[in-house]
Amino acid sequence: MYLKIKWWQLIFYEIALVSLGIIIGAYWEFFFSDYLYFLLFLFAVCGGYTLYIFTNQFETSDNKKENNKK
């Protein structure tokens, strides 16, 4: 099952997540400062995986379009 959303809907989702992160960071700075390196590592791993999945989906859909043209 795939979640199909348009690019402009994804922008609202990203803005909401960034806003929530800023709010949490502003109010609970003392708590999260001890876990800064772990959170940076977690962000890098999850962000890299997400980027890989998105680029892989675009490449797969482009290959399908080329195969349908033949």
pLDDT in tens, 22-33: 898 888 888 888
Is it the case that residue 70 has pLDDT exceeding 80?
no
Is the pLDDT score of 51 beyond 70? yes
**Sign of the C-alpha dihedral computed for residues 5, 10, 11 and 12 taken in this order:** positive
Considering the entire predicted model, what is its pTM?
0.55
Q: What are phi and psi of 2, to 5 degrees?
A: -110, 145
The pLDDT of residue 41 is: 94
Please state the domain extents for the chain. Answer: 8-69
Complete DSSP assignment for 20-68: HHHHHHHHSHHHHGGGHHHHHHHHHHHHHHHHHHHHHHHHHHHHHHHHH
Q: Please give the pLDDT value at position 66.
A: 64
- In the structure encoding, which two tokens stand for residue 13, read together? 């989702």
For residue 6, what is the DSSP state?
Answer: -
Res. 9: pLDDT tops 70:
yes
